Structure 1
């Protein structure tokens, strides 16, 4: 998937179908002039559904679908025949899609499971035929109910990436490079900030045919929680990750300070982010000799106060197996606490 095809925010107008009107038909046949009411009911209008589809990773297929309308119900007929139901419309969406009301910005619901189906606009009920209105005092009612109108809504679909591990770091920290060596993903990589403008997903192959999903979240900058740069656009994708992998390059001026800024931005955006498992990785460590690395490890143990960390190099393929082992252990401990 190319970066330009990753769409995680779309606005759509949806409208369900109106119900068919009931029939006010009176039964007529040879030798029977006044056979009484036999008008059938109208069919219901079509619903508009959102359906979770694990095969989708983006909302790109809805980028140009600005209007989605279901079919109208058919009118009732003679001999108490019911009109046909309107055609339902099914909108497939990737897992992790949040549905909001466009005007109030209220979250209506979320789609998180494959095959999960929810109605976003309910079709109108069909009107009752005159058969239902007969009585001892009115044996030939010549009226029937009209069908009810359908629903319409302007909604916003917002994708929050579903991944086991989220890569968090400043621009140009080496996240895309790490993703490319851990998985088969092919993100854009270059030596300048904001190479990644959309989240990239990759599947990490682990032992015994097991795997987990890792997401390269676009680089955070200081002030992102207040919307600076593309702050909220980036940060919302981290909410779904069960484990956060902080990436700080070894040549950073102050590793602890950079980690603290990243953590602070997440806390300001959503304090619940701090409840997630965290792991700090110092990338580009192939530029360090053993003596300098040992000195840095000593300082980090004192300053980070229990935050787990390790040194790796994506380019030199150093520490990657140990990193996968650590992440796998964290994910399984989180899912199956002992």
Structure 2
């Protein structure tokens, strides 16, 4: 009887002793489950926040396994390349999207195969909805413990609009430069003949004198004037007179050699600057010019004209104005001597 009573008392104790460790294990399992649940929820929230941040920033994640050449990307990359959300980057899809871009990508990957620092990748995709787009990615290599490159991770964004803005700005800059150059050309060009005008000619003469002084070189100046030009206008009209001026300008430009400048300085008066030419060469150029204008206008369907030419060489005390004045005085000496001739300045 006593033994039976002892057994009845020990049974509850045994049950308690057995249940207590199980209860502790269950509590620990529950606590662990709750921690895992909270961590999973926090991780999911972070993933959601990351996806939202990608959407707001217009960027996506793209990775490439070097060994298998397998691509993976995030939902936002689908939006960027123009495919439905959740579309995997299969080989066939990439071949259609990245016609030349895949080669561009792989070429850049290869050139940066040993880089430990991030680098930039740019490639083209054929977006089904928006056409050709330029993608730019900040890429980073992942290496194994042995130093072998395993993956390339990229943060990708569409840079097409930026390229278009830069291209538009560059076009505007080029157009502004072209307009400025055109304005400068017009400011320095005689519209009727296409030669340099008086302003440009005198500026060029100033520079030529400075160069001649510095280099101890020679400088010749020819000034010429169409003979009896008022008579041409009176007999044939100003329209024909303008055509004569244009033809004389064309002949003068054709006779100007490298380093020489022909200009119309007003009315029927022209000049030619011959930098580095000795006096004998300047005299020969003046005579050739006179003969070319006489012959050229006689063969054109225009009134035949001749020119009187004055020639001067740069002297020790000459400025551009004094050199021009001496050549101009020689021009009038040629006119007084009977026209259609070359006269040398004193």
TM-score, normalised with respect to structure 2:
0.21
Larger of the two Rg values belongs to structure = 2
More helix by percentage: 2
TM-score, normalised with respect to structure 1:
0.21
